[in-house]
């Protein structure tokens, strides 16, 4: 049975996977709250979705790196039936050459904001015994990634955190999903500054979102899904390789 939230909030909605989630959810008839820093892009997307789908769309420009962002947005928007934490970015290069401010913002957006948002919106869903949360992780979270050490660790955190919350929320009828895409055709690698960090075949953002929605549609939504058979096989293999070999292979793949 399709999971059709009455109202969904999507972070990182100005582009990439976040924008693809917004379009797919709008096509299902869900009203939307779109959150990102780039207000002009959000407004353009909102106009498109209102005209095409006849839904209500709220635009909320916000910097997710701010402390307490989850409670701040929850007070502004009220409860939602589905929360999609899609905002995030990566840095590339040796840790000693990383810009401190950018690296700290990466942690704030990829980790702290995701936890803050989940904590802020989950209680309403538990009280209603209905709802869902999708946290966008990555195949980078299945092993340490030399050259992208902070990003790999952040996405490993997202996976572990989300799967634990899945178990906590499941008795209350709330679906919680860790979504792990591989290389995806978005602005991600432009922001990283190189496509050398891409591993495996590229997928479209629409493909990634369709995989997530199929998991939400399932009667028993799993704690996590990996996007694509090849990515799923690679993620499984990381559990069996010797750690030093895994690190060598991972470093070679992102080519620092």
How many C-beta atoms lie closer than 10 Å to residue 7's C-beta? 18
Q: What is the DSSP letter of 129?
A: T
Q: Phi and psi dihedrals of 5, rounded to 5? A: -70, 140
Catalytic annotation, pick one of 21, 121, 142, 151? 151
Give yes or no: 151 in active site. yes
Residues written for the chain: 256
184, 144, 153, 164: CA torsion to nearest 10: 90
What is the separation, in whole angstroms, between the first and last Cα of the chain? 45
CB-facing half-sphere around the CA of 120: CA atoms within 13 A:
24
Measured CA to CA in angstroms, residue 155 lies from 2, 136, 145, 149 at distances of 28, 8, 11, 10
Measured CA to CA in angstroms, residue 128 lies from 94, 120, 123, 241 at distances of 46, 14, 9, 43
- Continuous segment of H or E residues that includes residue 137: none
Q: Which two tokens mark 152?
A: 């790999």
Quick check: 86 and 136 in contact, CB under 8 A? yes
Tokens 């701040």 belong to which residue? 72
The strand order across the sheet containing 131-136 reads: 57-61, 31-36, 7-11, 82-85, 131-136, 174-180, 224-226
Active-site amino acid positions:
151
């Amino acid at each position: 049975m399709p999971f059709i939230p009455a109202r969904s909030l999507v972070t990182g909605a100005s582009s990439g996977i976040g924008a693809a989630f917004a379009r797919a959810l709008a096509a299902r008839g869900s009203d939307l709250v779109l959150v990102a820093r780039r207000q002009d892009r959000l407004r353009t997307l909102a106009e498109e979705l209102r005209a095409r789908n006849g839904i209500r769309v709220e635009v909320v420009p916000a910097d997710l790196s701010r402390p307490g962002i989850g409670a701040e947005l929850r007070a502004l928007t009220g409860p939602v039936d589905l929360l999609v934490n899609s905002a995030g970015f990566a840095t590339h290069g040796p840790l000693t050459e990383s810009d401190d401010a950018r690296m700290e913002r990466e942690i704030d957006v990829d980790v702290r904001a995701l936890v803050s948002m989940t904590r802020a919106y989950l209680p309403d869903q538990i009280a209603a015994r209905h709802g869902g949360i999708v946290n966008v992780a990555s195949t980078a979270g299945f092993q340490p990634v030399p050259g992208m050490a902070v990003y790999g660790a952040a996405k490993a955190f997202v996976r572990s955190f989300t799967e634990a919350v899945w178990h906590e929320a499941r008795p209350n009828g709330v679906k919680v999903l860790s979504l792990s895409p591989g290389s995806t055709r978005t602005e991600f690698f432009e922001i990283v500054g190189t496509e050398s960090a891409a591993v495996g075949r590229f997928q479209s953002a629409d493909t990634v979102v369709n995989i997530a929605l199929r998991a939400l549609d399932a009667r028993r939504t799993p704690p996590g899904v990996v996007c694509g058979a090849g990515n799923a096989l690679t993620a499984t293999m990381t559990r069996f390789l010797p750690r030093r070999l895994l690190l060598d292979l991972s470093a070679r793949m992102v080519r620092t």
